[in-house]
Structures are given as C-alpha cells and as structure tokens.
Amino acid sequence: MTVSSKIVRKYNLDINHYPEVLERMKKKSLRFALYEREWSGCEERFCLHDEILGYLVEELHFKKKFQEAWSIIKRYNLLQKGLIKKKEPLEYFEKNQEFKILPNPIWEKDAFNPFEENLGIYLPGHYINLRDFGVTEKDVYYVDDVKHENFELSKKVLESSEMVIKKTFQ
C-alpha cells in the first residue's frame, strides 16, 4: 500500500476525492493479480471494471503479449471507450489490428470448481471445494446486482448465520 493510500485510509477520507491515488491503487492491484495469475485470470477478476482492463492491456503490451491484449480490447471495446491511455500501446493497437482473438480459457472450461482445477493447473481436490461440504451449484445464489432479490436474500442469510469452526480447521 502506498503512503498516500495509507493516509486516505487512516483518516477515513473519500478516495474519490483523490483520483491519482485511486488510479495508483487500481494499477497496483492489477500488477499484484498479474504476478499471481495468467492474463486470463486477471481478465476474469476484473471483467466488470473496464478501466482496470485498460491497464491490463497496457501491461500485456509492455510484456509483448499482443494477442492476449488484443483479445481483451475486442471483448470489451476498450479502444472505442478510450480506455487505453498510454501512448505507445494505443498507437500500436490503432495501427495493428490483425491479431486473432483468443478465447479466455477460464470461460471456455468453466465449471463449478476453482478455475485452476478446471484448467488442469492443479489436480481435482487440490482446493477445499463447496462440493466437499455437500453444496452444489443449484444451492448457490449468484449476486451481480445489489438491487436483485438474491442480494437481499444473501444478505439476510449471512447476517443471521453463526460461524462454526470444525476441528478439521483448528
């Protein structure tokens, strides 16, 4: 965390009043994610945040992963939205548009498992899975909108639940 972001947090300031700090935090978050994951995992993590995807394209361009960057540009219309801000990648992709669009392997092989297991990075059973506790995909409420009824239902259930620690986790 940068010194400026620590000050914002310590004094409970509104981060939106400090756009440079916010931008720095977003870029730092992306770089950390890119250190831990492949481009496909970062795209999945930030797919609802076009601005951060623009930073991802800039990072991929810097790493010479042009086809991956182009795939993200096309899926999210980032050139048309003006979200590629660095001059070099912007000019490069405005001139070079002959790349093939790569599918995101996470979405191609998506299943009700950790994506690392779906992609074969780890063997099944490497992670604790909801199935280990008898939870199936139909038991899960997907919430992508706070105005959706599933949000209110999930909030109610979570607020009324108690934490249970089993001996296996101690």
- Please tell me the predicted confidence (pLDDT) of residue 110: 62
Q: Which of the four pLDDT bands, split at 50, 70 and 90, describes residue 168? A: very low
For 140, the domain range is 111-116+130-170
Q: Are residues 38 and 69 in the same domain?
A: yes
The domain total for the chain is 2
Report pLDDT for 39.
94
DSSP string for 101-115: PPPPHHHHT--SS-H
Give the amino acid at 6. K
Share of the chain above pLDDT 70, in %: 92
Q: What is the pLDDT of residue 1?
A: 64
Residues 13 and 88 in one domain: yes
pLDDT of residue 163: 62
In a domain, 125, yes or no: no
State how far Cα 165 lies from the chain centre. Answer: 29
**pLDDT at site 167:** 45
Rg (CA), the chain: 20
CA distance 103 to 86: 25
103 part of a folded domain:
yes
Question: Looking at residue 114, what is its pLDDT?
Answer: 75
The answer as to whether 31 is a domain residue is yes
Residues 86 and 143 in one domain: no
42-97 tens-digit pLDDT:
998 999 999 999 999 999 999 999 999 999 999 999 999 999 989 999 899 888 88
**Together in a domain, 88 and 15:** yes
**pLDDT attached to residue 72:** 96
Decide: 68 and 60 in contact? Cβ < 8 Å. Answer: yes
Contact 5, 13 (CB under 8 A): no
- Per residue in 108-121, pLDDT (tens digit) is 766 667 777 777 77
Q: Are residue 78 and residue 14 in the same domain, yes or no?
A: yes
69 in a domain, yes or no?
A: yes
For residue 77, tell me if it sits in a domain. yes
Mean pLDDT computed over 39-44: 92
- Separation CA 52–CA 14 (nearest Å): 20
**Pair 8, 64 in one domain:** yes
